[in-house]
Amino acid sequence: MRAPGISIAAFALALPLLASCSEETGEAPQIIRPVLSTVVAERDETPFGFAGSIEPRVSAELSFRLLGRVIARDVDVGDLVKKGATIATLDSSALQLQVQAARADLSSAEAQFANAAASEERQRALLQSKNTPQSVYDTAVQARDAAQASVEQAKAALAKAQEQSGYTQLFSDFDGIVTETGAEVGQVVSPGQMVVTVARSDARDAVVDIPDQIAVAIPLGSVFGVALQSAPSIIAQGKLREVSPQADAATRTRRMKLSLLDPSPSFRLGSTVTVTRQEEVRPQIILPQSALLDDGGRTAVWVVDTGGTVGLRPVTLGGRGPGFFSVVGGLEPGARVVTAGVHSLTQGQKVKVDVEELPQ
């Protein structure tokens, strides 16, 4: 009977040890979550170059105000035109007939007015001598006033006909160069149909398409170097004056227009140029949109420390684009940033990093 007693005592002694082991094994191990991350680096500030072309800043599509047949076009593409010089002419035969008819109507109206005015004078004299009733005189006055109104109407019709006859000639409002023609001699054109396009040659722009992720970081007024591709030694300066507000859906580029500052005459319209940046681009870090977290109205990212835990880091944004954003403050090169699943992390959480390669 002693053996069972010893077993019970041994079991009683072992109970605290078993309870301790049970408590230790009952704690859930900390879950180490795998995340995508990348080591950030500032974009290189080396200058970039893109191909563009020289285009006019101001151009106008000249057209007639009337329907008519073109009987003369005095310019072709590439010709220089002066302000006020005749560019094209319409057949004015019908309009000249309208002017003659308007003159005849005016002469008739003036004759009727003269007759009505004389009749009114006679009736006034008869009324004063009491040889005609007041109603007859009133009728004569009304006829005179109506004839006078007809004269005014005929004068306006003549002025309109003469003005329209002047629309048969097309002029340029400024000195420029013909870049396009839209009508030939003998062709009947409608009002507003483009006959000739004239561009001012004194105000020229360098137009270039730049990738969206680069364009968003370039402020207006930035200075560029513009070199002719046919003669790279001929260089002018261009100042950024306009950036397209929306990127092209197919190429993801933005059109930028640079005002040429005192360019050489060699920068002709249509010339192909190479546009390079002359100012340093502000250093910035580019990250995918999935890495950005809105933390109570401020922007932040999760940074992985050397111990494998994450911490929230407020950042200053430099700009946003389709699927990415740029950081200009709050991050240092070499920091590892979580790029996916940022909304389900907590401060100090252990993570296992998988590297995500960012596009260059």
- Domain with residue 178: its CATH number is 2.40.50.100
Residues 133 and 248 in one domain: no
> Where a domain ends, among 260, 277, 294?
277
User: Which pLDDT belongs to residue 295?
Assistant: 74
**How many domains is the chain partitioned into structurally?**
4
User: Which pLDDT belongs to residue 351?
Assistant: 85
Residues 194 and 74 in one domain: yes
User: Which pLDDT belongs to residue 8?
Assistant: 47
Identify whether 129 is part of a domain.
Answer: yes
CA distances to 13, 69, 86 from 184, rounded to whole Å, are: 115, 10, 15
User: Which pLDDT belongs to residue 12?
Assistant: 46
Identify whether 344 is part of a domain.
Answer: yes
Residues 332 and 309 in one domain: yes
Residues 340 and 231 in one domain: no
Identify whether 312 is part of a domain.
Answer: yes
Residues 272 and 155 in one domain: no
> Where a domain ends, among 199, 216, 240?
199
User: Which pLDDT belongs to residue 340?
Assistant: 85
Distance CA 41, CA 8 (A): 68
Low-confidence spans in the chain with pLDDT less than 50: 1-15, 17-23, 46, 357-360
CATH number (domain holding residue 132): 1.10.287.470
Identify whether 306 is part of a domain.
Answer: yes
User: Which pLDDT belongs to residue 204?
Assistant: 87
User: Which pLDDT belongs to residue 30?
Assistant: 60
Which residue range(s) make up the domain with 216? 49-56+203-277
> Where a domain ends, among 113, 147, 166?
166
Residues 71 and 176 in one domain: yes
